[in-house]
Amino acid sequence: MIPVLENPASNVQRFVVGSYTEPYGPFRAIGDGISLVSLHPTGKLERLAQLALPNPAYLRPLSADCIAVAIETDDDRASIALVRVGSGALELEERVATPGRIPCHVDLHPAGSWLAGACYGTGELFALPLADGRLQPDRMVTTRHTGSSVHPVRQTGPHPHAARFSPDGDWLIVPDLGTDTVSAYPFDEARGPDFSHARLWQAPAGSGPRLPLFSGNGQHIVLVEEIASRLVSLRWNDGELSECHRISSLIDPFPGENTAAGLRWHPSGRLVGVSNRGADAISLFAFDPETGRLTPWRQIPSGGTKPRDFEFSSCGAWLITTNQNGDCLAVYALEEDGVRDTGERLTVRSPSCIRQMSGGEG
C-alpha cells in the first residue's frame, strides 16, 4: 500500500519544529520557540538546536538552509521572520510586521519570488516579495476579508487560515474559516495578487475551511474543514473549484468533540493524512489522482494529546506527530501493511508545526 521511496537507513533527515510559547486565548502554551531536530536511520530523534521566538507557530522551508516563520501573536509583534538553519544552529535573520494579527500558514511562490500568508485574528491577507533572500516590505500587497457565518463563537468574523499558491503560480488560494469560503485570487509574478477579482467556492455553513493542499498532478485540492472535521476533495480548473468527494476526517467512531487540523501528503502522492484534535489521532486516506476520491486506510493514535500537525519523511518510511498538549514528538514507521508506533518520543513543549528541511546528512 505505501511505497517507501528511498532506503530509510541511507541518511539523517532534519526537521524544524515550531511551538507556542504564550497563549493569546484559552489554550496551553509553554513552548521554547523553534527546535532543529534530526531523525536518524533507526527512527531515533535528536534535538540539535533551539531559537527563542514568540509563538513561531507555522514554518515554511524556503531552501535547504532557510525557513519562513509566522510569529503568531495577537499584538504588534505579529510578523514573518526569516531564520537561517545550519547543521547545528538556528539564527534569526530578519522580521517584517504583518498587516494584521495572528498570522498562520504561509506559502512560497513556485518561482521563489513571493511569500503569501493570512492573518487569522483580524482577517488580512498579504503577499510579500522576496529578492536576493531578503523580504521587501515596501512592496507588500494586502487586503482584508469581511463576513461571518453560523458558528456563534468561531465564525463571528473573517478568519483566513492559510494562503496557498497554485502549482503554476498563477493563483493564490485562501480558505476562510470564519466565512466558510475558499477564495482564488489571480496572481502575477511581477505585480503580485489581484485581490479585487476573487473566485469563490462556498463551503457548507459551519464547516470552517482551514488548510488546502494541491495534489501532485495539480488537478485537485484536498481541503481540511476544521469545525466539521471533514476532508473535501475539490477539482481545480484554473481558478474554479468543484466538489468531488467529502468524507469525515475520523475513520474510527469518536463520541467526543473533535476538530481537524494538520494536512500532509505522503511523498508518493497516493496517501494523504489529517490530524484530529479531540480524538488525538492521525487518519490516513488513499487518494485517487484521477477522480479525487478519498478512501479510508488507517487511523492511528497520535502518541499524545492535541496533535496540531505531523510530517511524513521524504523517504516515505516515517511519520512524526506534534502533540501540542502532550509536549512531545512521536515517531511511527510506515510499512506495507500498516503503521507501527516505534515508541520513540522526544520532549518538545507545546509543539505546533513540523516541517522537513530538504536534503540530508551523511
What sign does the CA torsion over 292, 295, 300, 304 have? positive
In degrees to the nearest 10, what's the CA dihedral of 151, 248, 334, 1?
-150
Q: Sheet containing 79-85: which strands, arranged edge to edge?
A: 56-63, 66-71, 79-85, 90-97
**pLDDT of 362:** 29
Instruction: State the amino acid at position 201 in one-letter form.
Output: W
What cell does 185 get?
A: 485570487
**pLDDT of 358:** 81
**pLDDT of 361:** 37
User: Is residue 344 a contact partner of residue 330, using CB atoms and an 8 Å limit?
Assistant: yes
User: Is residue 317 a contact partner of residue 333, using CB atoms and an 8 Å limit?
Assistant: yes
Radius of gyration over every alpha carbon of the chain, rounded to an integer in angstroms: 19
**pLDDT of 5:** 66
What cell does 314 get?
A: 521524504
**pLDDT of 337:** 85
Count other C-beta atoms under 10 Å from residue 112's C-beta.
12
The three-state (H, E, C) secondary structure of the chain, written as one string: CCCCCCCCCCCEEEEEEEECCCCCCCCCCCCCCEEEEEECCCCCEEEEEEECCCCEEEEEEEECCEEEEEECCCCCCCEEEEEEECCCCEEEEEEEECCCCCECECEECCCCCEEEEEECCCCEEEEEEEECCEECHHHCEEEECCCCCCCCCCCCCCCECECEECCCCCEEEEEECCCCEEEEEEEECCCEECCCCCEEEECCCCCCEEEEEECCCCCEEEEEECCCCEEEEEEEECCEEEEEEEEECCCCCCCCCCEEEEEEECCCCCEEEEEEECCCEEEEEEECCCCCCEEEEEEEECCCCCEEEEEECCCCCEEEEEECCCCEEEEEEEECCEEEEEEEEEECCCEEEEEECCCCEC
pLDDT tens digits, the chain, 362 residues: what are they?
A: 566 666 665 789 999 999 999 999 999 999 999 999 999 999 999 999 999 999 999 999 999 999 999 999 999 999 999 999 998 999 999 999 999 999 999 999 999 999 999 999 999 999 999 999 999 999 999 999 999 999 999 999 999 999 999 999 999 999 999 999 999 999 999 999 999 999 999 999 999 999 999 999 999 999 999 999 999 999 999 999 999 999 999 999 999 999 999 999 999 999 999 999 999 999 999 999 999 999 999 999 999 999 999 999 999 999 999 999 999 999 999 998 899 999 999 999 999 999 999 843 32
pTM for this predicted structure: 0.96
Instruction: Please report how many Cα atoms fall inside a 13 Å half-sphere around the Cα of residue 306, on the Cβ side.
Output: 14
**pLDDT of 2:** 66
